[in-house]
Amino acid sequence: MRVVVTGGAGFIGANLCRELIMRPAIDEVIVLDNLSTGYEENLRGVDVEFVNGSMLDRPLLQEVIAGADTVIHLAARPSVPRSIADPIASHEANATGTLYVLEECRRAGASIVVASSSSVYGSVPELPRREDLPTRPQSPYAASKLAGESYALAYGNSFGLSALVFRFFNVYGPLQSSGHAYAAVIPAFIHAALSGSPLRIHGDGTQTRDFTYVGSVVKVLADAATRRVSAATPVNLAFGSRISLLEIKDRLEVLLDRTLDVSFEPTRQGDVRDSQAASRVLLDLFPDCDPVPFEDGLELTLKWYQEHLNVEAAGLAASGGNGGHA
């Protein structure tokens, strides 16, 4: 089985490639990544074919996807603040880029797994967020992800393309970058804690997210690829946890055995107050899911950062296309 991973040098993608090469059903893994948010270093020692290029390069995209059985489409321009700074770039990557990938999957007869985001729910107040709730994007990032997932579902309906859309929530774990302005909250907190800086919290810290350990996410993605799972509606890829930013701070204090300073700052434009996934649809499709508990995942993530502090300082850890999906 030949699997193509777009954005495979990013945080989620590089973890996924490690999972894919361990699956007996998969013979070949090809990564397409333009290294705008990923790093080839993340794939060191991983038996994949790496292609440095953009999904917006249509001749290259056609060449890479030709002969593929499944494409796992993770490539994206992540971050709500980044999309507010440059909405057109977010649209081109997340909407137009996804359309190009879908068209090549149609040409090649490949199934596709598409990474969308919980941000598409936006201001919908109901918790947990069910897939049948309305979508109310509050940022260009969220709107672009909704456009991408809508195209994927439309291709499934119009052309019989085997497509599965996952709405990622807040994915965290090893390889996620931390030392930049658009870092997701958990790596940003860990980076600050290990460097002795205050943890920056936008808002009062009681806002909640459904944090999902990357190891749990990539097992589902690999299973979806090998079984060629499809669905007519989006599927939340999270397990219904609801954890506040202050709870993360408290847990890090326990793990580090010291008090951490906090700097409270204004709420960021486009941020959602609370987020939590309804996981019934996911568990119906993947009944063998066994997610890593948050406390265990946070401890594993902290240990990785402690062991790779020099790599992180050198800026080699990748932020993943779709990394945080806040």
DSSP secondary structure of 246-266: HHHHHHHHHHHTS---EEEEP
Question: Is 318 among the domain residues?
Answer: no
Quick one: 89 and 232 in the same domain?
Answer: yes
Rounded mean pLDDT of 301-326?
57
pLDDT at position 211 is: 97
In angstroms and rounded to an integer, the radius of gyration of the C-alpha atoms of the chain is: 18
Is the predicted pLDDT of residue 133 greater than 70, yes or no?
A: yes
Average pLDDT, the chain: 93
pLDDT above 60 (res 319)? no
Under 8 Å between Cβ of 109 and 295: no
At 325 the three-state DSSP class reads coil
Regarding whether 42 and 130 lie in a shared domain, the answer is yes
210-237: b or e for each residue (b if 16 or more CB lie within 10 Å)? bbbbbbbbbbbbbbbbbeebbbeebbbb
Q: Which pLDDT belongs to residue 316? A: 34
pTM of the model: 0.92
Read off the pLDDT of residues 25-56 as tens digits, 9 standing for 90 and up. 999 999 999 999 999 999 999 999 999 999 99
Q: What is the pLDDT of residue 271?
A: 81
Residues 33 and 150 in one domain: yes
Both 7 and 33 in one domain: the answer is yes
Q: Are 21 and 139 members of one domain?
A: yes
Query: Any idea what the Cα angle at residue 235 is, between residues 102 and 1, rounded to 5°?
Result: 50
Q: Is residue 280 part of a domain?
A: no
**What pLDDT sits at residue 16?**
98
Whether residue 182 has pLDDT greater than 70: no
Q: What is the average pLDDT across 306-318?
A: 53
104 and 155 share one domain: yes
* pLDDT on residue 95: 98
Together in a domain, 23 and 166: yes
Q: Which one-letter amino acid corresponds to residue 69?
A: D
Of 213, 216, 96, 201, give the one whose Cα is nearest residue 145: 96
pLDDT band at 181 (very low <50, low <70, confident <90, very high): low
Q: What is the pLDDT of residue 309?
A: 63
User: Is residue 287, in this structure, part of any structural domain at all?
Assistant: no
If one counts the domains in the chain, the total is 2
Q: Is the pLDDT of residue 325 over 60?
A: no
Q: Which one-letter amino acid corresponds to residue 24?
A: P
The answer as to whether 227 is a domain residue is yes
Choice between 179 and 293, residue whose per-residue pLDDT is larger: 293
Question: In the prediction, which pLDDT does 269 show?
Answer: 81
Tokens of 284: 């119906």
Interval 282-293 mean pLDDT: 96
- Does position 326 have pLDDT exceeding 70, yes or no? no
Residue 321: the pLDDT is: 39
245 near 142, Cβ under 8 Å?
Answer: no
In the prediction, which pLDDT does 178 show? 82
Mean pLDDT of 281-296: 96
Helix-strand-coil split of the chain, %, nearest 5: 40, 15, 40
Scanning 196-292, the segments in alpha helix (DSSP H) are 214-227, 245-256, 280-285
Cβ-Cβ contacts under 8 Å for 84 (sequence gap 6 or more): 139, 140, 141, 269, 270
DSSP state of 155: H
CATH number at residue 33: 3.40.50.720
Query: Based on the domain organization, do 82 and 56 belong to the same domain?
Result: yes
Question: How far is it, in rounded angstroms, from Cα 159 to Cα 35?
Answer: 31
DSSP annotation of 6 reads: E
Which pLDDT score, from 0 to 100, does residue 324 have?
43
pLDDT at 73: 98
Per residue in 204-239, pLDDT (tens digit) is 999 999 999 999 999 999 999 999 999 999 999 999
In this prediction, what percent of the chain has a pLDDT beyond 90?
Answer: 87
Residue 268: pLDDT band (50, 70, 90) is confident
Please tell me whether residues 190 and 247 are part of one structural domain. Answer: yes
Domain check: are 222 and 155 in the same one?
A: yes
Would you list the DSSP string of 86-135? Answer: -HHHHHIIIIIHHHHHHHHHHHHT-EEEEEEEGGGGTT---SSB-TTS--
33 touches 61 (CB < 8 A):
no
d(CA 90, CA 137): 14
Give residue 166's pLDDT: 98
**pLDDT at position 25:** 96
Residue 317 has pLDDT above 50, yes or no: no
- CA proximity to 278, closest of 164, 152, 126: 126
**166 neighbors 218 (Cβ within 8 angstroms):** no
Nearest Cα residue to 292 out of 256, 243, 239: 239
Provide the domain limits for residue 264. Answer: 178-210+242-274+293-313
Amino acid at 273: R
Distance from C-alpha of 164 to C-alpha of 234, rounded to nearest angstrom? 7
Contacts of 105 (CB under 8 A, 6+ apart): 65, 68, 71, 111, 112, 155, 161
Query: What CATH number is associated with residue 183?
Result: 3.90.25.10
Same domain, 136 and 270: no
User: pLDDT confidence of 179, banded at 50, 70, 90?
Assistant: low
